[in-house]
Structure 1
Amino acid sequence: MNKLQAMEVFVQVVDASGFTRAADNMKLPKATVSTLIQSLETSLAVKLLHRTTRHVSVTADGAAYYERCLRILADVREAEESLSRTRLSPSGRLRVDAPTSLASEVIVPALPDFFSHYPDIQLELGCSDRTVDLVEEGVDCAIRGGTLGDSSLIARRVGILHFITCAAPGYLARHGRPAHPNELLQHRCVNYFSARTGKMFDWDFTRDGERVQVALPGSIALNDSNAYLAAGIAGLGIVQTPNFLMAPMIKDGRLASILDDWTSDPLPVHVVYPQNRHLSAKVRVFVEWVAELFSNHPGMRLPKATRAPTLEVAP
Structure 2
Amino acid sequence: ELGREVYEHAARTAQLGAAIESVVSDRLSDISGVLRLSSPPSIADTLLTPLVIAFQKRYPNVRIQILVTDRHVDHIADGVDLVLRVGALRDSSLVARRLIAYRHRLVATPDYLRGSKPPKEPRDLLGHRLLTFSQWKPESVWNFVHRNGRGKETLTFQPHFSINDFAGLAPALLTCGGIGELPPLVRPDLVREGKLVEVMPHWHLQTFNLSLVHLGNRHISKPCRLFKDFAIQMAPSQFPDLPE
TM over 0.5: yes
Asked if the contact 2:139/2:158 (under 8 Å) is kept, the reply is: no
Q: 1:279 aligns with which of 189, 195, 220?
A: 220
Asked if the contact 1:97/1:125 (under 8 Å) is kept, the reply is: yes
Q: 1:180 aligns with which of 121, 126, 132?
A: 121
Question: Secondary structure of 1:240's partner?
Answer: strand
Between Structure 1 and Structure 2, how many residues are aligned? 216
What is the aligned-residue identity percentage? 26
- 1:1-315 superposed matches below 5 A: 89-194=30-135, 202-207=141-146, 208=148, 209-245=150-186, 247-296=188-237, 297-299=239-241
Asked if the contact 2:140/2:158 (under 8 Å) is kept, the reply is: no
Per-residue deviation, 1:135: 1.8
Tell me which residue corresponds to 2:16.
Answer: none
Q: 1:102 to 1:200 in 2, by over 3 A?
A: farther
State the distance in 2 between where 1:86 and 1:199 align: 56
Per-residue deviation, 1:140: 1.0
- Spell out, residue by residue over 1:25-70, the C-alpha distance to the aligned partner (whole angstroms, 9 max, x if none): xxxxxxxxxxxxxxxxxxxxxxxxxxxxxxxxxxxxxxxxxxxxxx
State the distance in 1 between where 2:183 and 2:60 align: 31
Question: Secondary structure of 2:143's partner?
Answer: strand
Tell me which residue corresponds to 2:8.
Answer: none
Question: Secondary structure of 2:186's partner?
Answer: helix
Asked if the contact 2:98/2:209 (under 8 Å) is kept, the reply is: yes
Q: 1:174 to 1:206 in 2, by over 3 A?
A: same
Q: 1:150 to 1:200 in 2, by over 3 A?
A: farther
State the distance in 2 between where 1:255 and 1:102 align: 18
Per the normalisation by structure 2, the TM-score is: 0.77
Per-residue deviation, 1:290: 1.0
Asked if the contact 1:189/1:219 (under 8 Å) is kept, the reply is: yes
- Spell out, residue by residue over 1:134-162, the C-alpha distance to the aligned partner (whole angstroms, 9 max, x if none): 22111111011122222231111121122
Q: 1:224 to 1:86 in 2, by over 3 A?
A: farther
Per the normalisation by structure 1, the TM-score is: 0.61
Question: Secondary structure of 2:48's partner?
Answer: helix
List runs of 5+ in structure 2 lacking aligned partners. Answer: 1-25
Of structures 1 and 2, the one scoring higher in RCO (CA 8 A, sep 6+) is: 2
Per-residue deviation, 1:266: 1.3
More strand by share: 2
Asked if the contact 1:191/1:222 (under 8 Å) is kept, the reply is: yes
Asked if the contact 1:146/1:267 (under 8 Å) is kept, the reply is: yes
